[in-house]
Chains A and B, each alone.
Chain A
């Protein structure tokens, strides 16, 4: 008897799934493509004075004041080569992140269903620190920080939406061939933000 109930329950569940997806198909309308946004010269404490993060909202494409560090207004923060997301012991948000390897910004259009978003537990961060671990390689011979080509930061924002980021430069005005004398700790990046809560990024 018990078994039968379970089977029926499973059947109902399956039916509702099929039904739901059919419904969705029927009502789908062409979604306008998302736009990539470029951001330049976010100052990640270049003067090495305050030792604080520069906060940024992917949702509003704006820098967020330091005073709002304990809110869910910001999604990512920069300090030196460290990048934090609004979650764990970094902030009160529902954020998360992982580093996607082997993908270009334009070709990466959907976050895989089984992707695991990590959270910050300083000094270990969702976006790992150190050369080769996260978003950059450090060339000690030339003393230059270079974003690793083909790496994206996949971000879950403080409010639970999704975004992809490609860091373009760590130097002021994003020179294409930076040297150690260029002013460092200035982030330039491009990002795409999906406001509807889905994992589609195109």
Chain B
């Protein structure tokens, strides 16, 4: 049924594509400016690494509210839903994707995942997505890629207000304005988002997604002191409040977990002359989550979690145009982090000093070579050198061939080192950071009888090392005609020293105790295809596809040696597994595709967006702990989202949409995806003439 609809949809697209000659073009795609790939403004066509740009118009027309929604519609991005909505890039999980707002990192990860539903898209000017290891510019965490959210700039005097209401009592209200006074400008933004949530299982206590609301506010100030000097500051504040409700034994637990987040980013930019400019950035952010939940029958405290992370940074970057064909970027900074949480025993701090350099050389107008290097001196761990080399060759203007090699790393995070956490709400399991438990301590607990057995992992506890990756991307783009643009990229990422949780012991109540280990070596490899087609002046089509293969190298070795067995569905007897039985890492779709149509005639607009993800591994059913059986996968899905709107001359804009038209739901494995949702919104903008 779903496949049928997808097929029909594709046919409709082909008909549309065949329909008419074009006026508009896709020829300027590569001229878009991108800052994230090279840390200075560069044409998309020149950066030589895989980059996706999502602009404001696309975000608005798609009717997205939160960052996870718009990212889900982009080629090669897979949204995971453990510990909030995270995004997987090139098969590397959300832990390895650095999230920036206006170039500064967001903190506050839970289980390694930064919940993207924290981020409203209403004040986003564009989103830049760099795929592949980018540690040569950004250091730890940028192993799978970097997503940089660039918020609206104050460009003119205007006021904006919008209100949206839809299924599940979901509401989203925004107000923003900006003002330019001579050489000073200020912009302000506020968002309130809330929902009653929804429930997939009426028989249990609480809803699948409990009611919540959140506020985001942001203020940007900037003063141009002279032609050479400007300075500004960005403030952002986020507050989230959720009602929690679930059963525990015969009792019911409820509470109001909250999240508070502050970001402050002052900066000074100086342009010494046409060749040299420098930027100083300060950054302070704090993320704080607090949850106190009580048993209903006697109001006693059942669950108490407090987590506060502070992150301070000073940084300078200087760009030198040595010649018209040679640009040098030099940067350095110092980061201090502090953690205070009742999950750990005490307050933890760490600091990192870093330096990076990058040189971009244009040779004979056909070749671009970008070489970069970053050195991170981590106070708690060994220092790390991350190189990058990217080459682009464009023999003719239509054709660009890119190759890049980059190294990535991710230092063990605080959780992996210092966690000391027992989850009473979910069966009483305990997780220890690698520095919090030793084999000797486990043996003592065994003698005391508080644990009943120690696993082989429990007998080899040791200090953690950083995770390393090497990534290779080879691809190209081709302008087939004025209206058709296509690009392809082949990628391979090899990750070693991967930190995973393993069971180290079992308690006397059979609940496991986990800790962290540098165990695995894995790889991810695949292909990404993207086509942009301007069908008519008013219609454009985008199609994307990613093919992804992942594997744990140790598992492959075991299969090669004939040492890995499984049980076919419906059988209890073991059979030897072959390479083709092994489905790779859990949580990865082998095939992902999207097809999007956008219609816009300045007054009317409409979109149809289809997103497909093939099955992905979720469970082990036959005791071998690897993915090898059909029933160990969650079913693949097709999401179909529609929107349409009308733009009046006076600044009023009306819009309505349906998300998940096919009402796809997976109540077990994709609970964060609501069923069919309908919304309507109204937006009003006033632009004032600038008095100059």
Contacts and interface: CB of A to CB of B under 8 A. Distances in A.
B423 to A, nearest CB: 11
Given A149-B624, A177-B621, A140 B512 contact: yes
Contacts of A102: 561-565
Contact of B512 (A101, A131, A142, A169): A131
A149 B567 contact: yes
Contacts of B574: 104-105, 149-151, 166
Interface in B547-588: 561-567, 569-576
Interface in A87-143: 101-102, 104-105, 123, 128-133, 136-142
Contacts of A141: 619
B429 interface: yes
Interface residues of B, number: 37
Interface stretch (B335-343, B453-461, B650-658): B453-461
B571 A176 contact: yes
B636 interface: no
Contacts of B620: 137, 139, 146
A77 interface: no
Given A149-B566, A150-B563, A168-B572, A140 B456 contact: no
B624 A148 contact: yes
Interface string B468-511: 00000000000000000000000000000000000101100011
A174 interface: yes
A188 interface: yes
A132 B455 contact: yes
Given A138-B512, A149-B567, A104 B621 contact: no
A99 to B, nearest CB: 12
Contacts of A128: 453
Contacts of A147: 572, 623
Contacts of A169: 572
Nearest to A128: B453
A166 B456 CA distance: 22
B380 interface: no
A105 B622 CA distance: 16
B621 A132 contact: no
- Main secondary structure, interface of B, reads loop
B520 to A, nearest CB: 15
B506 A130 contact: yes
Contacts of A139: 619-620, 623
A176 B572 contact: yes
A133 B619 CA distance: 20
Interface hub of B511, B570, B572, B576 (most chain A Cβ within 10 A): B572
B50 to A, nearest CB: 34
A188 B429 contact: no
Nearest to B427: A140
B455 to A, nearest CB: 5
Nearest to A175: B572
Nearest to B623: A146
Interface in B137-157: none
B248 interface: no
B561 to A, nearest CB: 8
Given A133-B455, A138-B512, A150-B565, A176 B570 contact: yes
B631 interface: yes
Contacts of B382: none
Nearest to A170: B623
Nearest to B503: A131
Contact of A146 (B455, B569, B621): B621
B20 interface: no
B505 to A, nearest CB: 8
B659 to A, nearest CB: 29
Contacts of B622: 146, 149
B452 interface: yes
Given A146-B620, A147-B623, A129 B453 contact: yes
Contact of A188 (B570, B572, B619): B572
Interface string B5-44: 0000000000000000000000000000000000000000
A104 B506 contact: no
Interface string A36-65: 000000000000000000000000000000
Contact of A130 (B429, B454, B566, B625): B454
A150 B576 contact: yes
B84 to A, nearest CB: 18
Contacts of A101: 563
Interface in A150-188: 150-151, 166, 168-169, 174, 176-177, 188
A101 B429 CA distance: 28
Contact of B575 (A104, A133, A177): A104
A170 B135 CA distance: 48
A105 to B, nearest CB: 7
A136 B510 CA distance: 14
A129 B503 CA distance: 13
A151 B624 CA distance: 10
Contacts of B563: 101-102, 150
Nearest to A176: B570
Contact of B506 (A131, A166, A174, A188): A131
Nearest to B565: A150
Given A149-B567, A176-B572, A137 B427 contact: no
A166 B453 contact: no
9 contacts: A104-B573, A130-B453, A136-B623, A138-B503, A138-B510, A140-B503, A146-B622, A146-B623, A176-B567
Given A137-B620, A149-B623, A177-B631, 10 more contacts: A104-B565, A104-B574, A130-B505, A132-B455, A132-B503, A133-B456, A146-B621, A149-B575, A168-B573, A169-B572
Top 9 A-B pairs ranked by shortest CB distance? A150-B565, A146-B623, A130-B453, A149-B565, A102-B563, A149-B574, A168-B572, A137-B623, A129-B453
